Amino acid sequence: MLFKSLCFFLLFIINNAFANSEKPDHFDQKTSFILNNYFSNYNLLGHAKYKYLFFDIYDASLVSQEENFNNNNFALILKYNRKITKESVINETINDFKKQRTFNKNEIDKLKNLLDTTFKNIEIDDIFIAIKKDNAAFLYFEGEKVLEIEDQDFINIFFNIWLRKDSQDPDFTKALLDKK
């Protein structure tokens, strides 16, 4: 009887350990707090390291309340491994936007102004969180909300930097979407 009870207890512990392994435990307190404000629970869908040439730029995680990717409800978390200037982030973002569609000068100027008020200089271990929830996007930098936007064109192009099939690094995108 004692042996049987011990076996059930061990199975309970093992099952709970595996059940909880779906929820990422590598996020810091601020990140978990933000994610919990948007999702009743969340699952890690994929994780990837973004490198450019020899430089390790950031680690990315894609989470969702669902077990599979849902293009309407997810969060992308970037943990930076390098210092990056605000100007570099703005320029790279605009360059990636231009790879997805044509913008006129007025649109580029508006985009630069929006990104200038949103982005900051990045230090090692800084965390950027981009959440898409239904028809809105919420961007956080180091625990502070830096943008809330409902412009669907911006939202789609912004998240497609990482999630489109012809992204700058398709293997990175596949790893995020867990489609290895």
Q: Which pLDDT tens digit goes with each residue over 59-100?
A: 999 999 998 999 999 999 999 999 999 999 999 999 999 999
Secondary structure letter of residue 92 according to DSSP: H
Burial of 118 from C-beta contacts in 10 A (0-12 / 13-18 / 19+): middle
Question: What's the topology of domain 28-176?
Answer: Chalcone isomerase (3.50.70)
Lay out the sheet containing 43-52: strands in order across. 43-52, 55-64, 73-80, 127-133, 136-141, 144-149
Q: Which of 75, 68, 71, 70 is CA-nearest to residue 39?
A: 75
Please state, in angstroms and rounded to a whole number, the distance separating the CA atoms of residues 64 and 54: 30
Least confident of 25-29, 61-65, 151-155: 25-29
Predicted confidence band at 26 (pLDDT cuts at 50, 70, 90)? Answer: low
Q: What pLDDT sits at residue 12?
A: 37
Residues in Cβ contact with 176 at an 8 Å cutoff, skipping those fewer than 6 apart:
45, 46, 47, 48, 60, 61, 62, 76, 162, 163
Find out whether 32 and 48 touch, Cβ atoms under 8 Å: no
**Cβ neighbours of residue 34 under 8 Å, at least 6 residues apart?**
129, 131, 140, 143
State whether residue 41 is helix, strand or coil.
coil
Per-residue pLDDT at 54: 85
- Do residues 139 and 129 make contact, with C-beta atoms less than 8 angstroms apart? yes
Please provide the size of the chain in residues.
180
Position 2 confidence tier, pLDDT thresholds 50, 70, 90 = very low
